[in-house]
Structure formats: structure tokens, C-alpha cells
Copies of this chain bind each other. A is one copy, B any other.
Amino acid sequence: MKQITIKDIAREAGVSIASVSRALNGQDGIGQEKRDRILEVCERFSYTPNGLARGLVKQGTDTIGIIMPDIQSPFYSELMVKASDAAHKKGYKVLLCNSFREIPTEAQYLKLLVESQVQGILIFPIGPRSLDSMEKYGKNVPVVALNELPEKSRIPYVCADEERAGTLATEYLISRGCKDLVFIGFKAERLAHRYRASSFLKTAARMRIPARIFEGHSDFRSSFERGYEHFKQFLLSGEPMPDGIVAASDATANGIVKACRENGLRIPNDFSLIGFDNISTELPYLELTTVAVSHVEQTEKAVALLDQLVRGRQLSRAEAAVKLEPRLVERRSCKNGM
């Protein structure tokens, strides 16, 4: 399939390549009649301009890349969709990449995107170990992180205030009368989990309610599986059953629900359950109460931030480190035991 170039079109239409370029880009400085003729020829040859050449001379592609760990997770795919929307609104094209929760794959995509001359990158890091390559490629092109907080670094980010989220969730459970709390699905590598868990403990202590973190062993491919397996481990552990469970995330909560079904446990009858992230539109079988920031707000902020950077604005440390206020989304997975 030999590529047809602007030259072919020019020859065929009997004009110069400059005119073709002008016609194609809707610039003026060309007669209507000539323009029509050129466009007609393009159509006839089903000519498509070479984006590489154009990008090369224009020094830009109007494209940003989005890297996320798991396209199959409802959480990420929803955020991804919202983020592309936001990017499109700002006039960017979007390249999507799925890192499969693998650090090397993630690094590879960062490289690919930089090489593809995207103007900026939005990344949902896999975890703290993502930092190295983010910092490396962040020298070439602006990078904004969502969702994991690269606090130790200078990478700009937009995420939820997870500490506050943990507090909200715990307070809510207690306000509904829970007297014994367990946190399930904890994964130490996730910074968000660390915040959620530590403020969980802190809040419970402050309110004088017994609370513990269940540390399930071994890790699993997805948060869903982790929730499922950890909760089964918890049931087998012989530990006393709490009346309130904080799941490390909604995906985790979903796994817990599955384990409950298999063990004849009912929510919220047997215990109250609360999660984080608000992916529950994807959980048709459970109306999960959760704590989260608005996905739209988060992604739009992130794109706006990236856009600033792309346009070369210098941002202060504070402007580039956005923590959004989470709020409670009340549904039906918590009983009212007051």
C-alpha cells in the first residue's frame, strides 16, 4: 500500500504542494475554485495526510497519553473514560495505554508515549515503584499523576485526600452504631490504602471504638480477588466477627460481597460495609455505601493541570499537588443500629 503524498495530489491537481497544504488545512490565501479542485482530488485518491510529517514540522501532535494499570477494572475504565472526555474537550487527542499492573510495561509505555511526541501524559501509577520512570520521562514531557500520590516527588498530581476519606468512612460506620471495626483488603504498596487504614485506626481510637486491620497474606491479581480471598481468610481465622467492615476499596468490597454470598452472610444484616472510590454503579447487586471524590471533577482538574503544563506555565508546588475533598455516598450497605 504505497502512501499517497501531498506531492501526488499537487501533480494531479496541477498546483503546487503549498496550495494543497493550504487547502487541506483550511487556511486562506487560496482561491475557492482551486481549493475545491484540490479537495476533490484528495477525496478521489482517498488521500490521508501523514501525521508523522505534520507532527514533525509542527513540533507537536495535540495528543496526550493516558496510562492506567487495568483497563478491565471498572474503577479505572470509568476514570479513563472521564479523563478522555476531559481531554477531548480541551482539544487533545488521546492515546490509551494499559500497563497491566506491571512496572516494566508501564515504563515501556511512558517511553512509547514520549517517543510518539505526545504533549503530555496522564498516569494512574501502579504504585510507588512507578515513580522512577515517571520522573525520568517527566523530564521530556509534562506528567500528571492521578490516584496515587507521589508525595515524595515533584510529579504534579490530583487525587483524593485519602486520609480524610478514611476518617469519613470510619466516622460514618460509628455514627451508624458500629461497635467493632475491621479493615479488610489492605495492600501496603498502595499509598492510598496506607492513608485510609491509618486514619481508620486513628479515628476509631479517637472515638474509642475497637478497630483492627486484617492483614491477609499473599497478593492477588486484582483488588476484587484480594477482597474475596482476604475475607475468606478472615472468616477462617477465627477472629470475632465485627459489625462494621471498611474495605480498602469498592473493588475489594465487591470481592467481600462475593465471599459473603458463598458463606450465607448478608449485608447489611450481618455487618455494615463501606468502601472507597465509588465504582458501585458497576455493582448492580449491591448498593454499596462509599467515600470518594467526583470522578469528573478529578479528571477535569487533572487535565486542566496538564494543559497548563503543556502550555509551558510554571506551577508552584501547591498548585501542582491537588488533594480533592472526598464525600460520603450513602447507599444501602450499612445498617442503622442507633
Contacts and interface: CB of A to CB of B under 8 A. Distances in A.
A74 interface: yes
Interface string A57-100: 00101000000000110100110110010000000010111101
A49 interface: yes
A56 B50 contact: yes
Given A53-B56, A54-B115, 10 more contacts: A1-B139, A1-B140, A48-B137, A52-B55, A71-B77, A71-B96, A77-B77, A81-B98, A95-B95, A258-B284
A75 to B, nearest CB: 11
A300 B3 CA distance: 27
A299 interface: no
A98 B55 CA distance: 23
A258 B284 CA distance: 7
Contacts of A71: 71, 77, 80-81, 96
Contacts of A141: 1
Instruction: Count identical subunits in the complex.
Output: 2
Contacts of A100: 81
Q: How many residues of A sit at the interface, in one of the four size bands? A: 35 or more
A287 B61 CA distance: 46
Nearest to A258: B284
Contacts of A115: 48-51, 54
B46 A136 contact: yes
A117 interface: yes
A309 to B, nearest CB: 9
Contacts of A137: 46, 48
Contacts of A96: 71, 95-98
Given A80-B71, A81-B98, A48 B111 contact: yes
A160 interface: no
A261 B287 CA distance: 13
A166 interface: no
Nearest to A228: B284
A136 B44 CA distance: 11
Interface in A90-134: 93, 95-98, 100, 111-112, 114-117
Contacts of A258: 284-285
Interface in A244-280: 254, 258, 261
Contacts of A150: none
Contacts of A48: 111, 114-115, 137, 140
A185 interface: no
Contacts of A1: 139-142, 312
A138 to B, nearest CB: 10
Nearest to A66: B96
A52 B48 CA distance: 16
